[in-house]
A and B are shown apart, each in its own frame.
Chain A
Amino acid sequence: MNVRAHVSMTFHLDKCIGCHTCSVACKNLWTDRKGTEYMWWNNVETRPGTGYPTGWEDQERFKGGWVKRNGQLKLRLHSRARGLTNLFYNPALPELDDYYEPFTFDYQNLFTAPEGDDQPVARPVSMITGEPMNINAGPNWDDDLGGSNLYAENDPNWEGVSPEIQAQMAEIERVAFNYMPRICNHCLNPTCVAACPSGAIYKRGEDGVVLVNENKCKGWRMCVAACPYKKVYYNWATGKSEKCILCFPRLETGQAPACFHSCVGRIRYLGAILYDADKIATAANAETKDLVQAQLDAILDPFKPDVIAAARAGGLGDDWIKAAQDSPVYKFVKVWKLALPLHPEYRTLAMLFYIPPLSPIVSTIEDGLFKLELPPDQVDFELFNHLEKARLPLEYLANLFAAGSVEVIKPILRKLLAVRIYKRRQSVERSIDAATLKIVEAAGTTPEEIEAIYRLTAKPTLQERFVVPPYHREMATEVWNDPLAHKGETGVGFIELPVRGD
Chain B
Amino acid sequence: MNWNILLFQVFPYIALALLVIVSIQRMRNKPFGVSSLSSQLLERNLLYFGSIPFHWGVLIILLAHLLALLIPQGLLWWNSVPIRLFVLEVTGLVLALWTLGGLGVLFYRRLSNRRILAVTRPTDVIVLLLLVVGIVSGILTSVLYRYGSFWFPSVMTPYLWSIITLQPRPELLADLPFWIQLHVFNAWLMLAILPFTRLIHIITVPIGYLWRPWQLVVWIKKNRRQAAPSSVAKAEPGLPESRTSRGTD
Contact = CB atoms under 8 A, between A and B. Distances in A.
A236 interface: yes
Nearest to A221: B38
A203 B215 contact: yes
Nearest to B29: A496
Nearest to B32: A496
B109 interface: no
A481 interface: yes
Q: Give the interface centre of B209, B216, B221, B233 by most chain A CB atoms within 10 Å.
A: B209
B114 A129 contact: yes
Given A88-B55, A93-B44, A96-B115, A236 B39 contact: yes
Given A96-B115, A130-B118, A500 B40 contact: no
Interface stretch (A208-216, A328-336, A415-423, A455-463): A208-216
A84 B210 contact: yes
Contacts of B35: 217-219, 238-240, 500-501
B247 interface: yes
A276 B35 CA distance: 36
A197 B212 CA distance: 9
A120 interface: no
A365 interface: no
A497 B247 contact: yes
A182 to B, nearest CB: 20
Contact of B37 (A89, A205, A239): A239
Contacts of A481: 231, 242, 244
Contacts of A315: 221-222
B111 interface: no
A242 B206 CA distance: 19
Contact of B32 (A194, A215, A221): A215
Nearest to B43: A95
Contact of A489 (B32, B205, B246): B246
Interface stretch (B11-19, B137-145, B195-203): B195-203
B201 A218 contact: yes
B3 interface: no
A482 B232 contact: yes
Interface in A164-206: 189-190, 193-194, 196-199, 201-206
A94 B32 CA distance: 24
A500 B216 contact: no
Interface string B37-62: 11111111001100110011000000
B95 to A, nearest CB: 15
Contacts of B221: 205-206, 315, 476
A428 interface: no
Interface in A325-357: none
B214 interface: yes
A219 B36 CA distance: 6
B118 A494 contact: no
Contacts of B241: 213-215, 493, 495
B224 A93 contact: no
A24 B1 CA distance: 66
A90 interface: yes
A89 B30 CA distance: 26
Interface string A470-494: 0000011011111101001100011
Contacts of B56: 88
B78 to A, nearest CB: 26
A447 interface: no
A374 interface: no
B40 A221 contact: yes
Interface string B212-235: 101111111111100101011101
A502 interface: yes
A424 interface: no
Contacts of B115: 96, 128-129
B97 to A, nearest CB: 18
Secondary structure class of chain A's binding surface, majority of residues: loop
Contact of B222 (A93, A94, A205): A205
A83 interface: yes
B44 A496 contact: no
A41 interface: no
Interface in A77-124: 80-81, 83-84, 87-90, 93-96
A482 B244 contact: yes
B218 A203 contact: yes
A479 B215 contact: no
Nearest to A85: B56
A265 interface: no
B34 interface: yes
Interface string A112-145: 0000000000000000111100000000000000
B41 A93 contact: yes
- Identify the interface centre among B121, B227, B231: most chain A CB within 10 Å of its CB: B231
B245 interface: yes
A360 interface: no
B103 to A, nearest CB: 13
Nearest to B123: A502
A475 B220 CA distance: 11
A498 interface: yes
Interface in B111-127: 114-115, 117-119, 121, 123-124
A94 B30 CA distance: 29
B249 interface: yes
A435 interface: no
Contacts of A96: 41-42, 115
Contact of B249 (A94, A211, A219, A496): A496
Contacts of A501: 30, 32-35, 37, 198, 200
B216 A502 contact: no
A497 B247 CA distance: 8
Given A129-B115, A485-B246, A479 B42 contact: no
A194 B233 contact: no
Contacts of A193: 214-216
A470 B39 CA distance: 41
Contact of B219 (A87, A205, A237): A205
Contacts of B30: 496, 501
A499 interface: yes
Contacts of B65: none
Contacts of B51: 88-89
Contacts of B219: 204-206
Contacts of B39: 236
B248 interface: yes
5 contacts: A90-B40, A194-B214, A215-B240, A239-B36, A479-B233
Given A218-B204, A476-B221, A479-B235, 8 more contacts: A88-B56, A95-B43, A206-B220, A219-B35, A496-B33, A501-B33, A501-B37, A502-B124
Closest 4 pairs between A and B when the two form their complex, measured CB to CB: A501-B33, A239-B35, A197-B206, A205-B219
